[in-house]
Amino acid sequence: MAKKPSDRAEPFGLDDEYRVLRPGFNQRVYELVRQVPRGALTTYGDVARTLGAVQVSRHVGNALAALRDHGGGEPVPWQRVVNSKGKISFPPGSPSFERQREALEEEGVTVSDDGRVPLRERRWTFVPCD
DNA sequence: CCTGTGACCGAAG
DNA sequence: TCTTCGGCCACAG
């Protein structure tokens, strides 16, 4: 049963029906990212996994992208989210890249010119409870 | 409907 | 380590 788009593992914070995502997904992403402390890092995949399904990792990125528009509200430390390769997910040199780089260095995280960050050493582990 | 695109992931070589 | 490739989900054209 529940074989809609593809047979996925048991999501959590996701839907049983057609859509894997359900309204409110973005907010859950924001809540989690807010848990990442200053100077720590996490990945789109880790957030997705914590929400129940790593295959929606792209949507974690979409959620953060949407953040740029609506503006206000409690701030979300989006700069602490990088990709699983341990690099900033923007083309090196692009405005977005530089913005994230500065935000990270401001909190003591080193960023190489090609966007690499010390993920292994600073990777944050989300608390099991929730 | 089919295609392309996105702040992605992981296995394989 | 790095690169390539197939998968994945939603949405706009």
What string of DSSP letters covers A72-103?
A: -SS---GGGEE-TTSB-SS-TTSHHHHHHHHH
Q: Which nucleotide is nearest to A57 (CA to C1')?
A: B8
In angstroms, the CA of A14 and the C1' of C11 are apart by 18
pLDDT of residue A20: 74
Q: What is the pLDDT of residue A21?
A: 82
Residues A64-99: tens digit of each pLDDT? 999 988 877 899 999 999 999 999 999 999 999 999
Band (A30; pLDDT cuts 50, 70, 90): very high
Q: What was the pLDDT predicted at A44?
A: 98
Query: What is the pLDDT at residue A23?
Result: 83
Q: What is the mean pLDDT of chain A?
A: 87
Residue A56 CB: number of other CB atoms within 10 A?
Answer: 25
Query: Which pLDDT score, from 0 to 100, does residue A11 have?
Result: 41
Q: How far apart are CA A55 and CA A120, in angstroms?
A: 22
Q: What is the mean pLDDT of residues A43-48?
A: 98
- Closest residue (CA) to C1' of nucleotide C2 is A85
Write out the two tokens for A3.
């074989």
Look at the pTM and tell me if it is higher than 0.75.
yes
A55 touches strand C (CB under 7 A): yes
Tell me, what's the pLDDT at A128?
A: 65
Within 10 angstroms of residue A81's Cβ, the number of other Cβ atoms is: 26
